[in-house]
Amino acid sequence: MFLRNRFNYLAVFILFIFSFILYNIYFLQIIRSDESIKIINSQTFDIVYLSAPRGEIYDVNNETLATSSLEPHLFINLRKINENNIIQYKQYLTYNFKEISSIELDEIFQSKEILYLIRNINDLNFTERQALLELDAFEIFDFPIRKYEFNNIASHVIGYIGKPTQEEYELYPDTIKNGIVGKSGVEKFYENKLSGEAGEIVFKGSEIVQFTPPNPGESLYLSLDINTQIVSTESLEQGILLANENFELEDIIEKGAVVVIEIETGNVVSMVSLPDFDPNKFVQGISSFDFNQLNRVQAFNNFAIQGLYPPGSIFKVVAYWLAENEGLFPEGVENRSNKINCDGDLAFSFNDGSQQVYNDWKKEGHGNVNLSSAIQQSCNVYFWDIALKIWRSYEGNPRESILQEYASNLGFGSLTNIDLPYEKSGVLPDRELFEEWRITKPELVRPEGWLGGDLMNLIIGQGAITTTPIQVANAYKTLLTGSNSSPYLNKELDKSIKYNNLDIDEDFINFLLSDLNLVTRQGGTAYQAFEVLGNRSNEIGGKTGTAQNPGDRNSTSWFVGIDSISNPRYIVVTVVEEGGSGSAVAAPISRRVIQHLIGVELTPVKFGEITE
């Protein structure tokens, strides 16, 4: 009995202690929670971070493209807000800053933040700012404001900034402190270089006990020439307008790109993509409506590196190189000078069920052509004959993909690894890929897989092949220099670029330049587009391309231009999605850009001749 009583007393005592602890927890957390929090806050140190100014971005001539200016901003120290003064501060903000809505006002005073950013007060004079500081809970700190000096010009190259996502917090840990991150363009690619080190405001309770100012990010110097960028943008806009005026389509033509690269170095001198956007609109936060409007027209897509298009006849330079290097000319032709009769169609027999008759874009044919005039007039039959010879000679063995090997060496089907995010690699089809697609994407291929007809399509840049404008520019640069390397925007990369030398000799390069020059001369597919230059067109080279799209969509318009055949410095690649004939739309756009590059008076983009 005695032991039982002692056990009961002990149980009652433990229950009493447990109840006392529960009561105190309830009392502190529920009854006196605010007071408890204040006591804890007064005894602990907290750090609030102040965003660092991002590094400046300059063009090749040290023209400022993006800058960060420090401007005074009003903050409120919410630890100094209590039941006695909250109404006073609400009334003050409502009366003096009428743009603050009642909903925003509630958000401010319900926030769990220590220091809440109210607004930019750069519009207030010194006296007005000092008056704000007479109220104990107000603080003024300089806060960086990003400014893009040329608005939408070069927006896809430079990019824009915004609040980080969870994924971006993990990718760039410093954004937790800075609170902003590059979302696209070099702003994103060089985030770690541009972001800087956030400042620190140390609180003990409600008082600031230490302030460490932020350190700005590093500056970035680009190869981009803003003057060329402006001309390229204007030219593309004019060309797209002309395309809409001359083609009656269900959908408006609005997408295109222009890329200008320096042949010797791979520097990107200009990169335009339309539709574009003004990155300044993202600095203070863009509305959902405006964001969705831009997203609807794919304004955030950089079509220069993300637009995937069949290349059409601009791809014929791959077969041109193959024919010269391997001696693989049409049946009965031994060298580049021998001619074949380029009729308006090509009829032949395959045993695999491929199409038996191929019709050239020029129904009446091109007459007798050799390799040079086949490029000049963009004769499909000449290049189909080369594909036919490859198929009949090598079907089923590794050399069946010799065209793809040459294309791959020029960078087709692979990323160029330009220093921009979100680049796409495109597709370079072959038997192996079609076998893979038969399993993974059966809707894209026939049950029979890779056939001779697929090679016939590929050699003129049609069928399953897709490429980007930057790939095309880099491929032509490779052919004219004999080495493959990545194009780039950051000038600091010029000493670290790796070059892959190819088997391309000076004789071939001179032949190619001479034949590309034929395209802009009389009898060439781009003659009418360049006729305005008079004798100056005798120095310019190029290649038109008109790539067919599936269904009822208009063809994609391409042109690759070389500023000079005697001293080539620049490659200009233009693409207009559903822009129609390359000679009618893309070539005149490139012509105006080349006028700027060679320093002659600019003339408006004029609708050219419809060929191909």
Strand ranges, E, within 10-164: 45-50, 57-58, 64-77, 115-120, 138-148, 161-162
Cβ atoms of residues 420 and 305 within 8 Å: yes
Mean pLDDT, range 417-424, rounded to an integer: 97
DSSP-assigned letter for residue 490: B
**Torsion on CA atoms 136, 138, 140, 146, rounded to nearest 10:** 170
CA distances for 410 relative to 467, 473, 479, 484, 545, angstroms: 12, 10, 8, 7, 18
Tell me: the pLDDT tens digits for 143-193? 999 999 999 999 999 999 999 999 999 999 888 899 999 999 999 999 999
Exposed/middle/buried for residue 120 (C-beta within 10 Å: 0-12, 13-18, 19+): middle
SS3 state at 346:
strand
- Short-list 130, 123, 136, 76, CA closest to 104: 76
Cα gap 538→525, rounded to integer Å? 14
Mean pLDDT of 81-102: 93
Instruction: List residues bridging with 262 in a β-sheet.
Output: 570
Q: How confident is the model at residue 16 (pLDDT cuts 50, 70, 90)?
A: low
Q: What average pLDDT does this structure show over 213-226?
A: 97
Count each helix (H run) and each strand (E run) in the chain, helices first.
23, 21
pLDDT grade for 128, boundaries at 50, 70 and 90: very high
Q: Nearest 10 degrees: CA dihedral of 496, 497, 503, 508?
A: -120
pLDDT in tens, 567-611: 999 999 999 999 999 999 999 999 999 999 999 999 999 999 998
The residues that bridge with 147 in the sheet, in sequence order, are 67
CB 385 within 8 Å of CB 330: yes
For 342-375, how does the pLDDT look when each residue is reduced to its tens digit (9 = 90+)?
888 887 766 666 667 788 888 888 999 999 999 9
Beta bridge partners of 561: 542, 572
Least confident of 145-149, 219-223, 345-349, 387-391: 345-349
Output the average pLDDT for the chain: 91
For residue 261, what pLDDT is reported?
Answer: 98
User: Where is pLDDT greater, at 480 or 497?
Assistant: 480
Distance CA 608, CA 574 (A): 14
Summarize the confidence of residues 280-300 as an average pLDDT.
91
Give the end-to-end CA distance of the chain in Å, rounded to a whole number: 111
Q: 200 and 47 in contact (C-beta within 8 Å)? A: yes
Whole-model pTM above 0.85? Answer: yes
For range 108-125, the mean pLDDT: 94
- The pLDDT of residue 3: 45
**Which tokens sit at 582?**
């390359």
Q: What is 202-260 written as a DSSP string? A: EEETTEEEEEE--BPPPPEEBS--HHHHHHHHHHHHHHHHHHHHH---SS----EEEEE
User: Is residue 303 over pLDDT 90?
Assistant: yes
Q: Does the pLDDT of residue 27 top 90, yes or no? A: no
- CB contact set of 83 (below 8 Å; sequence gap of 6+): none
At residue 376, does pLDDT exceed 90?
Answer: yes
**In terms of residues, how long is the chain?**
612
Asked if 563 and 598 touch (Cβ cutoff 8 Å), the reply is yes
Query: Given the structure tokens 């460490």, which residue do they identify?
Result: 212
Name which residue leads in pLDDT, 493 or 402.
402
pLDDT of residue 296: 94
Please name each of the domains of the chain with its CATH number.
Answer: 47-221 (3.90.1310.10), 226-598 (3.40.710.10)
pLDDT at 352: 65
pLDDT of residue 359: 87
Return the SS3 of 61: coil
pLDDT of res. 7: 55
Q: Residue 466 gets which letter from DSSP?
A: B
Is the CB of residue 35 less than 8 Å from the CB of residue 27? no
Average pLDDT over residues 224-233: 98
DSSP state of 427: B
Q: Of 603, 471, 581, nearest to 526 (Cα)?
A: 581
Instruction: Specify the pLDDT at position 25.
Output: 60
Q: Can you give the pLDDT at residue 497?
A: 82
Confidence grade of residue 5 (pLDDT, cut at 50, 70, 90): low
Mean pLDDT along residues 47-68:
97
Closest listed residue to residue 262, CA positions, set 273, 252, 270? 270
Nearest to 260 by CA among 571, 4, 602, 577: 571
Statement: residue 34 has pLDDT above 70: no
Nearest 10 degrees: CA dihedral of 517, 519, 523, 529?
-110
Percent of the chain's residues with pLDDT above 70: 92
Cis peptide upstream of residue 469 (ω within 30 degrees of 0): no
pLDDT digits (tens, 9 = 90+) for 523-549: 999 999 999 999 999 999 999 999 999
Residue 2's pLDDT is what? 44
